[in-house]
Amino acid sequence: MGYLLYSISFTLLVVSTALYLTRSYWVPLLPDMNFPGSSYLYARLPSSFASDMENGFTSSAFDLSGNVSAGDSRAGLDDASKREIQKIMKKRRVNFDEARRLYTEGRFAKNGIAPDGLPRDPKFVSFSS
């Protein structure tokens, strides 16, 4: 009987550890479970340029104070981009401008564009005056 209890405990520990380590892959596949009455408790606050400034997503080269002072009612910066830029800032310990540059160059590389803005397509022909 003891072996059965230990075997079940060990199997549960291994499965739960594997699920925890791979949660970034399977959690997005789960359906949104909205329990009655819980939607107002943990609703995500709408993003704005003021909150973006408070979170450090501004600099002298990328100034959001004009948007805030003008009363811009748009939602602010893209949430997915902000998360990626914040990861770069924390991982590489760089400021906002450098992280934004690295993020943009990474997006360029994914789309086949060189850091100078020219396409990497070998058939690309450019005429300059």
pTM for the complete prediction?
Answer: 0.53
**Residues pairing with 119 in the sheet:** 113
Contact 64, 58 (CB under 8 A): yes
The Cα–Cα gap between 106 and 110 comes to 6
Residue among 123, 122, 105 nearest 114 (CA): 105
Upper half-sphere CA count for residue 58 (Cβ side, 13 Å): 15
pLDDT at 42 over 70: no
Q: How confident is the model at residue 7 (pLDDT cuts 50, 70, 90)?
A: very high
The Cα–Cα gap between 15 and 60 comes to 49
